[in-house]
Structure 1
Amino acid sequence: MVSEGNAIRSSCAVVEAEQGARASTSPVRRAGNTFFKLLYRYTHSRAWRHNERLAHGVALERDEAGRLAGMSIRGHRLACVNAQMPLAPDLHDAGQECHLIATGPSVNLIDYRALQMPRVLGVNGAIALTERQGVRFDYYCIVDTGFVRSRTDLVERVVREPLTLFATPLVLWHIAERIGLERIRCRVFLVDDMLFPAGHRATRMDELRATYDARALALFDAPQPLGFSLDLRHGVFDGRTVAYTGLQVLASLGFKRLYLHGVDLVAAKSTPRFYEEASNMQPSYLDENFCEFIEPSFRHASALLGRRGVDVRNLSMESALGEDIFPKLCWQTLVQGAACACKAARACAPDSSLDSSLDSSLDSSLEAMPGFAAASTLAPARAPTSTLA
């Protein structure tokens, strides 16, 4: 393996030292971080600038194919699963479905205790649903260092969970500085940036086209450098929203039915995320990036995934992404489908141990849900006993 000192995108200064449940800042460490960042900035061209934060004290390992394989920070090795985690597994039918939960305010309209989700990937602050509605995540994606800096409390919840975290080396550096590597309990998969690879200069689209074939990525015909990764081990295109990164993660993992939650993308600058209040909301740049980066990225990805047999549905009815990109679906429809499945199972096994006293419980919960109109053909069904597999 090749070991190299490097980083992925720059950002504001940060530092560590532990105090209570969170690492706090040491003035000496902060001064050192800033010094080495500025030294790198003024001794390297702009094409290398994305490495400035982690150029000191960080070593990345790459395999024979040049893909990220491991990471050490200040001499402490971070356990990574890049080599062990299979991509595009042979999923059985039930395992082909995954829910991607973003953080738009429409998430607050969903009753997750009534919604069965075989697999779940969360991004950024979606972890707040664990405490609010008992949601358990199998996968998680964080590529925004601003989120790590501003909501370290939520990030600490993520790294304590038994999930797989997909994150860039720069994000992991910020986590190490604020929380500490010893507090990370989740599995970690290192994610590279196709356009700004760690430890290398920025990559041009023509270079990507010459290096990778259609099995690894798709490059879109657009004014901006847009694309979609089909092999997570090589990296991702950020699309200016972490939800787009999450979509590439799930496509690489081989899921064929995807449901998007909270991908609202409407007036994000003035609208709090589902876990925020107006008084404490963090800045958002989704509005500025929507027309040039976000919308065309999802539009091209929709056509690509459709050709590959991946069905994506958008559960945000007010999403800025049109129906022509991803068809919209009321989340209650998924609960109704589960009820019909229960009815079919009961018909096949009329003498089974299904508790008939629970038959009306799901109907009652549906009637209480906002915006749900019970269908006359929906027979009583047994309520789900678990929100997650």
Structure 2
Amino acid sequence: MSMGNLAELRDSCNGDLFIVASGPSAGEFPLKRYSHLPMIAVNGSIRLFTEAGVAPCFYLCDDSSFVRNRFPLLMEAVESAQHLALSPRVIDSLLERVPNALNGRSVYRLQRVNRLSGDRAAFGDRWFAWQARRDRDLECQFSLLRQKPNRIGFSRNLAKGYFSNRTVPYAGVQLAHHLGFSRVFMVGLDLSSNAGRFYEQGKDAVPSRLDSDYEDYILPCFQLMSERVIGPHFQVFNLSACSRLPENIVPKLSFDELDQLLACS
């Protein structure tokens, strides 16, 4: 298996991109209507793509538990996505089960910031956050008093890693910026543990940590993105009307408004 270099893909794209997450509202997304535009699938949202016969340009997964709990879905992505961006743990867990699973596939290592290899930190969170303040590719909070703010950030250059806000669609937004897309439309970004995922029901559903991580990591990261990254050259919109994320952080669009916006571009 050969590993691609994300640095070589920086600013290689432009225009509009959809990132499809796994919230229940994703089931209402008319994927085929917009399949002429580039799309990123994350985790179990690949099911929408395989059912529609559409290949996402990228598939992202950074959770090794997904390999254990939803292995068939991961293999759907391996077989159908044009490119795969997988965390080191996901790659290792996948190859333990199927050693040749990634042979002949276009694979990129999805590495978190401040990591030498795997999940081993290069520096303490505070020291890294202090240093990141001088790096134009990174936006990061900093606190001497609390540890969690030092993990809140946004990376414009995935060759330097991505910030995990405990939900993989946020990694997708950072990848979109890295690739050079100027408008990102988020699908299925409901962000509610109780709502579950569109492809799971009842006792078959895998527990979610969205509620426990929302206030500490998810909301602050999107808030930082809204304040320091969003601007005339990079915009993010939310197509989930029921999303927990406030509209003043990521503006919401109906499908009619989306169609009008795309028609004007």
TM-score in terms of structure 2 length: 0.88
Mapping 1:296-315, distance limit 5 Å: 296-307=220-231, 309-315=233-239
Query: Which protein shows a greater Rg?
Result: 1
How many residue pairs align between the two structures?
Answer: 257
CA contact (8 A) 1:215 1:231 kept: no
Which residue of 2 is the match for residue 6 of structure 1? Answer: none
Distance verdict in 2 for CA 1:239–1:83, change over 3 Å: closer
Candidates 160, 169, 173, aligned match of 1:234: 160
* Alignment partners' CA distance in 1, 2:4 and 2:16: 22
Are 1:325 and 2:249 counterparts? Answer: yes
**1:24-49 CA distance string (max 9 Å, x none):** xxxxxxxxxxxxxxxxxxxxxxxxxx
Quote how far apart the aligned CAs of 1:96 are. Answer: 1.3
* Alignment partners' CA distance in 1, 2:109 and 2:177: 17
* Alignment partners' CA distance in 1, 2:11 and 2:230: 17
CA contact (8 A) 2:237 2:251 kept: yes
Query: Unmatched 5+ residue regions in structure 1?
Result: 1-77, 342-389
Q: Which amino acid in structure 1 is aligned with residue 140 of structure 2? A: L
Q: Root-mean-square deviation (CA), in Å?
A: 2.2
CA contact (8 A) 1:159 1:184 kept: no
TM-score in terms of structure 1 length: 0.61
Which residue of 2 is the match for residue 290 of structure 1? Answer: 214
Q: Which has the higher contact order (CA 8 A, sep 6+)?
A: 2
- SS of the equivalent of 1:85 reads helix
Mapping 1:18-167, distance limit 5 Å: 78-82=1-5, 85-89=8-12, 91=13, 95-167=14-86
* Alignment partners' CA distance in 2, 1:272 and 1:83: 32
**1:332-380 CA distance string (max 9 Å, x none):** 3334556x67xxxxxxxxxxxxxxxxxxxxxxxxxxxxxxxxxxxxxxx
Distance verdict in 2 for CA 1:212–1:80, change over 3 Å: farther
Which residue of 1 is the match for residue 135 of structure 2? Answer: 214
CA contact (8 A) 1:140 1:166 kept: yes
- SS of the equivalent of 2:8 reads coil
Quote how far apart the aligned CAs of 1:183 are. Answer: 4.7
Quote how far apart the aligned CAs of 1:184 are. Answer: 4.2
- SS of the equivalent of 1:126 reads helix
* Alignment partners' CA distance in 1, 2:126 and 2:177: 21
Query: Unmatched 5+ residue regions in structure 2?
Result: none
CA contact (8 A) 2:20 2:186 kept: yes
Distance verdict in 2 for CA 1:84–1:241, change over 3 Å: closer
* Alignment partners' CA distance in 1, 2:110 and 2:161: 6
Quote how far apart the aligned CAs of 1:215 are. Answer: 2.2
Single out whichever of 286-295 and 213-222 deviates more from structure 2: 213-222
Distance verdict in 2 for CA 1:166–1:280, change over 3 Å: same
Are 1:254 and 2:180 counterparts? Answer: yes
CA contact (8 A) 1:160 1:184 kept: no
- SS of the equivalent of 1:100 reads strand
Are 1:274 and 2:180 counterparts? Answer: no
Q: Which amino acid in structure 2 is aligned with residue 259 of structure 1? A: F
**1:89-143 CA distance string (max 9 Å, x none):** 3x4xxx4111000000001112222234511011001110123233320011100
- SS of the equivalent of 1:181 reads coil
* Alignment partners' CA distance in 2, 1:126 and 1:252: 22
**1:223-259 CA distance string (max 9 Å, x none):** 5221111110111111111111111111111111000
**1:183-228 CA distance string (max 9 Å, x none):** 5443111122224442644532323433673322111256522111
- SS of the equivalent of 1:321 reads coil
Single out whichever of 128-137 and 190-199 deviates more from structure 2: 190-199
Runs of 4+ in 1 over 6 A off after TM superposition: none
- SS of the equivalent of 2:3 reads coil
* Alignment partners' CA distance in 1, 2:204 and 2:165: 26
